[in-house]
Chains A and B, each alone.
Chain A
Amino acid sequence: AQKITQTQPGMFVQEKEAVTLDCTYDTSDQSYGLFWYKQPSSGEMIFLIYQGSYDEQNATEGRYSLNFQKARKSANLVISASQLGDSAMYFCAMSPDSGYSTLTFGKGTMLLVSP
């Protein structure tokens, strides 16, 4: 069974600052995928970034980067230069293979960006 833990119910950051959202995971699979999704108040889950368990380099997508530490089983999301529009719920998730199959989600972190 897979498990995702997000220990930060809420985070505050000032506009233009960087913020790290924590995620730890547990799995017995050798091959797995790690994901971050953003959920604004509209409810839609928006894909942000993906890291495969065998990827040696940390994934980056624009202002998003995934700090992957395999030995620690952590997959923290770093958002650089925060914007007001980044205010939303953020979910860490994992799949039981390196693809995009069935996802297990954490409970989420609410990020609020202040001017």
Chain B
Amino acid sequence: GAGVSQTPSNKVTEKGKYVELRCDPISGHTALYWYRQSLGQGPEFLIYFQGTGAADDSGLPNDRFFAVRPEGSVSTLKIQRTERGDSAVYLCASKGTGELFFGEGSRLTVL
């Protein structure tokens, strides 16, 4: 597609479950970012990929969060043992040589 695609758009899960959120960046974009946006807040940086490798994962809140980008295109954000505090919109963005382009996010609700 023309833009950054994120799936699922909505995910409801129970506390303690495992979830995966997928991001399909704009074709050819080498940089990919994950952000988390809690209700009433601005997005907060989680992790940045340049190609296949995580160039900066300093924003991941703890070891329950992990992200991969094995072929340098699609990325998956993985959250283990989800907690209610993980409820948020998870935004993905990709970048070529210019500005960041964001997807519409995956809304995660942990019951």
Would B102 and A44 count as touching, CB distance under 8 A?
yes
B residues within 8 A CB of A100? 95, 98-100
Counting contact residues on chain B (CB < 8 A from A), the size range is 20 to 34
**Closest A residue by C-beta to B91:** A45
Would A102 and B48 count as touching, CB distance under 8 A?
yes
Q: How many A-B residue pairs have CB under 8 A?
A: 49
The secondary structure that dominates the B interface is strand
A residues within 8 A CB of B41? 107-108
The secondary structure that dominates the A interface is loop
Question: Could you tell me how many residues of chain A have their Cβ less than 8 Å away from some Cβ of chain B?
Answer: 20
A102/B45 contact (C-beta < 8 A), A42-B104, A43-B105 known: yes
Give the CA-CA distance A79 to B35 in the complex, in Å: 26
**Closest A residue by C-beta to B107:** A43
Known pairs A37-B102, A47-B100, A93-B42 / 7 extra A-B pairs, C-beta < 8 Å: A45-B102, A46-B102, A91-B42, A102-B33, A103-B43, A103-B45, A103-B100
**9 residue pairs bridging A and B, Cβ less than 8 Å apart:** A43-B91, A43-B104, A91-B43, A100-B98, A100-B100, A101-B48, A102-B48, A102-B56, A106-B42
